[in-house]
Amino acid sequence: MGLSISSGRTRLIGSLAVGQLIGWGAGFDMLSVTARPMGEALGIAYDLLFGGLTLFMLVLAVAGPPVGRLVTRYGARPFLSAGAVVMALGLVLLAACHGPIGYFAAWGVIGLGGAFALSNPAYAAIVEREGRHARRAIGLMMIVTGMSAGFAWPLFSFVVENAGWRTALFVGAGLLLFIAAPLNFFGPGPRPARTAAQGRDAAQMPLLLPAREKRRAFVLIALFSTAFSIIGFGISPSLIELLGLAGAGPALALSLASMRSFLGISARAADLFIGRNDDPLPAAFLAGSLPLLGGVVAIVLAPSPAAAIAFVLLYGFGSGMGAVSRAVLPLGFFAPGEYALMAGRIALPQNLATAVAPLLFSLCLARLGFVVALVAVVMLALVALTAVWCLAGLRARSALRPGTQM
């Protein structure tokens, strides 16, 4: 499938991309610029404020499987829109709170809305309409989603400085309610008729997997996704400190860390060309190889600026590719009609890992040191690569069965 995009696909990708940009920006990234004034007003310590994001990810994890079942049965579109409305309600509650109880309760509501409005349901909406060829559309949407911090930080910083943090949260709620929710509902258009979708799924089965091997494929994809969630989200908050220990001075460490978002977006763009044949495995293998190589090179070269530069380039690009691979790997092993259900189940371990990974990695770096932290990165990358290798073997064995479509 080429890069040319029809008007219907443009509307599908564009509407969902803007919805995801607003959702992640207003519901997650905004805390980076509202935390200090919010903590002073509510009497909550700065580091404890980020427990709200932990609660947010825990709710996403627990809600993942039931949301997947609902999306499979009724389609993604109504839940994407309703989720944006619930997230807006959570931001209003957060703006109105006056203490820790209200603060964390509001984050629970934001997390519940996010479970319906963010990531997997949006991917499922594309898969409902694109089938097995959804990979490129998902990749295009994720390029825009990767810019959420670049959208949210300047906007919320401006509003906080001129009108206060409560007003900034009301602005985020307005964006979700009046832009994201309508785009999530009207942009994708109706879901294809169920009977047509079922026939299409039968024609697009990627592999003929027995039930036992389907379970094995699910476990391997979940293992890859969880390992990459720890690599991507675990290191990010401690990246500046890690680069400093690798040998970068304070100014260089800050500059290199700020490159991570750009590298991640560049990797998502590169994935569009690597994955032209809808096969997710080559890009997943490359995604696992890059942070592994980055960790090894940094251990060998540290302490030196070269070690920090090599690590951030390889880690940043690899984690960006890994984000796309997490979203599209199920398409290589399950029918499109199974995507939402499988993605929802995978979200449970993946988001649990995302919730606890920053704390675990920061403790590892502080108490066990720089080398042990990088060894942990290398081991996680090896886990991801092993999962991809086993998935390739599973597919090769299935290809030998009569009737298997590749």
For 200-267, the DSSP string reads HHHHT------HHHHHHHHHHHHHHHHHHHIIIIIHGGGHHHHHHHHT--HHHHHHHHHTHHHHHHHH
**Which CATH number is 377's domain given?**
1.20.1250.20
Residue where a domain stops, chosen among 142, 159, 191: 191
What number is the average pLDDT over the span 208-221?
85
Is the same domain home to 344 and 296?
yes
Pull the structure tokens for residue 240.
């500046």
Confidence bin at 1 (pLDDT 50/70/90): very low
Is the same domain home to 224 and 302?
yes
Q: Domain range holding 165?
A: 7-191
Is the same domain home to 168 and 62?
yes
Residue 275 counted as domain residue:
yes
Is the same domain home to 372 and 292?
yes
Is the same domain home to 175 and 314?
no
Residue 197 counted as domain residue:
no
Residue type, 377: V
Look at residue 149 in the predicted model and tell me its pLDDT.
81
Please state, for a pLDDT cut of 70, what percent of the chain lies above it. 91
Say yes or no to pLDDT of 205 above 60.
Answer: no
Residue 283 counted as domain residue:
yes
Measured distance CA(400)–CA(157) in Å, rounded: 57
Is the same domain home to 353 and 240?
yes
Look at residue 278 in the predicted model and tell me its pLDDT.
66
Is the same domain home to 178 and 223?
no
Pull the structure tokens for residue 28.
């997650």
What number is the average pLDDT over the span 352-360?
85
Closest CA to 115 of 173, 66, 158, 151: 66
Q: Report the number of distinct structural domains present in the chain.
A: 2
Identify whether the C-beta of residue 106 lies closer than 8 Å to the C-beta of residue 97. yes
List helix spans (H) across 29-164: 31-42, 46-49, 51-74, 77-96, 100-117, 120-130, 135-145, 148-163
Residues counted in the chain: 406
Residue 68 counted as domain residue:
yes
Residue where a domain stops, chosen among 191, 213, 246: 191
Is the same domain home to 268 and 175?
no
Instruction: Read off the pTM.
Output: 0.86
Residue 342 counted as domain residue:
yes
Is the same domain home to 182 and 219?
no
Measured distance CA(181)–CA(178) in Å, rounded: 6
pLDDT tens sequence across 7-51: 778 889 999 999 999 999 999 889 888 988 999 999 988 778 888
Confidence bin at 108 (pLDDT 50/70/90): very high
Residue where a domain stops, chosen among 191, 215, 248: 191
Confidence bin at 5 (pLDDT 50/70/90): low
Query: What 3-state class would DSSP assign to 279?
Result: coil
Is the same domain home to 269 and 129?
no
Is the same domain home to 250 and 380?
yes
CA 295 to chain CA centroid, Å, is: 22
Q: Best-predicted range by mean pLDDT among 170-184, 218-232, 330-344, 385-399?
A: 170-184
Which residue would you say has higher pLDDT here, 398 or 365? 365
Is the same domain home to 106 and 177?
yes
Which residue would you say has higher pLDDT here, 262 or 390? 390
Say yes or no to pLDDT of 303 above 60.
Answer: yes
Residue 130 counted as domain residue:
yes
Residue 98 counted as domain residue:
yes
Look at residue 133 in the predicted model and tell me its pLDDT.
79
CA distances from 261 to 146, 186, 295, 377 (A): 7, 30, 19, 19
Residue 405 counted as domain residue:
no
